[in-house]
Amino acid sequence: MAGSATGLPKSRDARVRLVGMTNPANTPARDDASETPDAETILVVDDEAPVREVMVLALRSEGYNVLHAANGQEALSVAERHAAPIDAIVSDIMMPQMGGGLLLENLRRWYPGIRFLLVSGFPEGHRLLGGLTGTPTSFLAKPFAPDELLRAVRELLDRPRRAPAG
């Protein structure tokens, strides 16, 4: 199958074909010590390791600094330990311990106006966006191809930051 410009498969089944690759998403949540100084930093949060792996690999292939966590609690710890600003969060909505909605509430206290891309396999997941104000937020339905993720992240990062009202 032909690959995208990133060298990753364009198929929506990319997560299945990438499982045998080096698996950065199965390593513990971490602050990436090998960051590129001028690159934007993305925190990826998803409890499904194969999905998280595809997102991490796709974003790194485009030059982003990528942090990752398996749930909202881990994401809060990663964000707290990370010294540099985080430019955007890509998070699943439904996760054990803390889902994407509660994670967003917590993180926007630390990062007013943080850009947030919520992803979900549930069709009604986009309805959460209606109640979110003051935070640039987008939704991407699962399954998605790596190039769809890259496009959604770039569009989100290109939107201006807005601080929460109040």
In a domain, 84, yes or no: yes
Residue with tokens 């590129």: 36
- For strand 115-120 and strand 137-141, is the pairing parallel, antiparallel, or unpaired? parallel
Question: Going by C-beta distance under 8 Å and a sequence separation of 6 or more, which residues neighbour residue 161?
Answer: 112, 113, 114, 115, 136
In a domain, 17, yes or no: no
Helix (H, G, I), strand (E, B) or coil at 55: helix
What is the per-residue pLDDT across 46-77, written as a single tens digit (0 to 9) for each?
Answer: 999 999 999 999 999 999 999 999 999 999 99
Tokens of 150: 């890259």
Residues of the chain above pLDDT 90, percent: 43
Give 109-157 pLDDT, tens digit per residue. 878 888 999 998 876 655 655 555 556 688 898 999 999 999 999 999 9
pTM: 0.75
Question: Is position 6 within any domain?
Answer: no
> Is residue 35, in this structure, part of any structural domain at all?
no
Q: Which residues contact 75 (CB under 8 A, 6 or more apart)?
A: 29, 43, 45, 69, 89, 91, 98, 103, 107
Could you tell me the two tokens for 23? 């698996």
At 49, which amino acid appears? Answer: A
Which pLDDT value is given to residue 162? 64
**Helix/strand/coil for 65:** strand
- Kindly report the CATH number assigned to the domain that includes residue 78: 3.40.50.2300
Q: pLDDT tens across 21-51, in order?
A: 344 444 444 444 456 678 999 999 999 999 9
* Total structural domains within the chain: 1
Q: Is residue 95 part of a domain?
A: yes
Residue 85 lies inside a defined structural domain of this protein: yes
Let me know if residue 135 belongs to a domain: yes
* Domain ranges, residue 127: 40-158
